[in-house]
Amino acid sequence: MRIVLIGQAAFAEKTLDALIEMGEEVVGVYTPPDIPGRENPFKQRARALGVPVFQPEKMRAPEVHEEYVKLNPELNVMAFVTDIVPESILTHPGLGTIQYHPSLLPRHRGGSAINWAVINGEARTGLTIFWPDKGIDTGPILLQKEVDIAPDDTVGSLYFNKLFPLGIEAIKESIGLIRQDKAPRIPQDEAQATYEGLCTKAAIDWHKPASEVYNLIRGTNPQPGAATSYGDIKIKIFDSELGHGDLKGAPGEVIEVTDSGFLIAATGGAILIKRVQPKDSSKIAAVDFTAQSGLKPGDHLGE
């Protein structure tokens, strides 16, 4: 099939490789403009394979459609897309458009689906390959795959270890079904639909149950980080571990400082902080932060 691939980052790069290995004809790829100082592996891989690369500021621009139709695609594949793709492009190919989304639609529509599944403390999530329409993640479903969310999973581990590789296989399976004219279009159940906005910031309330605080931390790791403060120092918390046993202290109190990090009390428990990022700094081990800041037992975070 003549395929246009729309996406970015490593997921789109690996999708491109998978399509080529399947013998599909990728006639063009669309990816956002380069960010100065940052490599674009998808763009580099496409050029190495001789696939035309297009990098419009907005997919909705009229000139994009004019350029796109000249590629004469039979199918669009959307792999990690953050821009709004107009309906005129979605519906142009004879076979339509399929898209990867890292949740079990209709749950967790929106651009931070993985974050919210972890923040909410859910035990299972998955991915959906669907036929996008003009809504936000609202088109009919082609197929879905489920995965467990382990108690120590972060957004990073859940995506890279589970949803990323399974997503590539799901796209390959979907294209196989399309080739056989067996690809379903199952309407989403709007009664089960949820939508959350982008998770661009998160502040820790140490008075919340320790399990909720822990879920917030791992649900914002590696981005955007869970924010708190130590005196005048604003920090974001990343790697952590839920404390066990009889751990007592006022919410936000430093219970213990060890070579592994520092233990902070929350309601009904405590959390071992292993990695932090002070404002205007890079991420550092929690033990290094305690040495730099003088953090000690009895001090408090978030006040």
Per-residue pLDDT of the chain (303 residues; tens, 9 = 90+): 999 999 999 999 999 999 999 999 999 999 999 999 988 999 999 999 999 999 999 999 999 999 999 999 999 999 999 999 999 999 999 999 999 999 999 999 999 999 999 999 999 999 999 999 999 999 999 999 999 999 999 999 999 999 999 999 999 999 999 999 999 999 999 999 999 999 999 999 999 999 999 999 999 999 999 999 999 999 999 999 998 767 789 999 999 999 999 999 999 999 999 999 999 999 999 999 999 999 999 999 997
The whole-model pTM stands at 0.95
Instruction: Provide the residue type at 142 as one letter.
Output: L
Instruction: Provide the residue type at 104 as one letter.
Output: L
Report how far apart, in Å, the C-alpha atoms of 167 and of each of 6, 37, 40 are.
Answer: 15, 28, 20
Residue that is written with structure tokens 């006022």 in the block: 250
Share of the chain above pLDDT 70, in %: 100
> How far separated are the first and last CA of the chain, in Å rounded?
59
Question: Is the preceding peptide bond at 106 cis, omega within 30 degrees of 0?
Answer: yes
DSSP assignment letter at 212: H
Domains of the chain, each with CATH number or no CATH: 2-192 (3.40.50.170), 210-293 (3.10.25.10)
Q: Write the pLDDT tens digit of every residue in 229-284.
A: 999 999 999 999 998 767 789 999 999 999 999 999 999 999 999 999 999 999 99
Give the separation between CA 101 and CA 253, rounded to whole angstroms.
Answer: 39
**Is residue 30 classed exposed, middle or buried when 0-12, 13-18 and 19+ CB atoms within 10 A define those classes?**
buried
* Phi, psi dihedrals of residue 157, rounded to the nearest 5°: -70, -40
Give the separation between CA 152 and CA 239, rounded to whole angstroms.
Answer: 10
CA dihedral for 256, 258, 263, 269, sign (positive or negative): negative
Buried b (16+ CB within 10 A) or exposed e, 33-64: eeeeeeebebbebbeeeebeebebeebeeeeb
